[in-house]
Structure 1
Amino acid sequence: MNQTASQNAEEFGFEPGDIVQEWLWDDDVDDSIRAKIEDLTGEDLVDEDYNSAVDGVILWWRDGDDEDELSDTIVDACGVLDDDAPMWVLTPKPGRPGAASSSTVQSAAQTAGMNAATPLTVSKDWNGIRLRAFGKGR
């Protein structure tokens, strides 16, 4: 059986001691993903009001949210993100309420100057898409 990133939080690219900022949290998020990241890093997730540099970002995104808002949020999150630090957009999987098309995320990422990787299953109900600045890795 393939393990998901939520079963192996290190697959997100976060490390012990990392400060990970969470954007667009709502009561529909998968708390097991959040807990695994906090267990791995040994730190509580910080919210979007945190204004110091962070070592990683997770951004919860749902269909029906404005694509331009996603681009703007990606740009805002990049403003506090260390160079080459992991940034993930988490979206409900196809068939789940709020499922967002990966092409929507890819388009918003391009508008924000980022590349979007292929979606990865991160839990039973959520996919994750890693973003990287153009020209940075795969």
Structure 2
Amino acid sequence: MRGRLSKRAGQGHHRPVRVSVSGLVWRVHLRESASLGGLQQTRYAGGGPRRLRGGRSVGQIAGHSDQNDGPAAKLGFRPDQVVLELGWDEDCDDDLRIDIEEVTGNELLDGESGEVADVVLQWWRDDDGDLADALVDATTDLAPGGVVWLLTPKVGRDGAVEASDIADAALTAGLSTTSTVSAAEEWSGTKLVAPKGSARK
């Protein structure tokens, strides 16, 4: 079980794209459209153009400075971390996704990358299937000492997952629940780690 196909096929996967204009790099979202040669800009990230060095934002440009108190920083993301994203769908929070890329300086990887990740970002809804199996899959490419952030709809939202179900699934997958936080407007984040001394299979 690697990644997740969109429930609403044909509307495209909105991924951040870097567009260079006169040495400045704008991070934008593009989606399929009949206009602009099949692509249409749908949103900007970061509030303005950013010069990037080695894929990382540097300095202050167009009145926008780096923020250390954004959602990604609050979740513990750090520069240069490799992040694997699983379970993406159109209901996922793009502001959080973009902020993670801004903080780490790396684009989110999908389940086909095959790279070892420092953090796995697992989006999950109650009707997505077997959570324990998904968490086992999530740890396949997780580096020793890595973290799984399980993102589920908040209580009262469609697709919310019971805390007891998360705890049971984590235990089955050999993970421990350390904390649960508000990760985004509609999403809760549960931090899962492998117990110290355990070996990654």
Fold match by TM threshold 0.5: yes
Larger radius of gyration: 2
> Is 1:92 aligned to 2:167, yes or no?
no
Pick one of 100, 109, 114 that aligns with 1:46. 109
Query: What stretches of structure 1 move > 4 A for 4+ residues in a row?
Result: none
> Is 1:82 aligned to 2:143, yes or no?
yes
CA shift, 1:87, in A, is 1.2
Whole-angstrom CA distance in 1 between matches of 2:90 and 2:164: 25
In the TM superposition, what are the counterparts of 1:1-138 in structure 2 within 5 Å? Answer: 7-66=70-129, 69-135=130-196
Whole-angstrom CA distance in 1 between matches of 2:92 and 2:152: 9
Higher relative contact order (CA 8 A, sep 6+): 1
Unaligned runs of 5+ in 2: 1-68
| TM-score w.r.t. length of structure 1 | 0.86
Structure with the bigger percentage of strand: 2
Query: Which AA in structure 1 matches 2:112?
Result: D
For the residue of structure 2 that corresponds to 1:9, the secondary structure is: helix
CA shift, 1:7, in A, is 2.5
* Percentage of pairs with the same residue: 39
CA contact (8 A) 1:90 1:126 kept: yes
CA shift, 1:11, in A, is 2.8
Query: Which AA in structure 2 matches 1:42?
Result: G
CA shift, 1:23, in A, is 0.6
Unaligned runs of 5+ in 1: 1-5
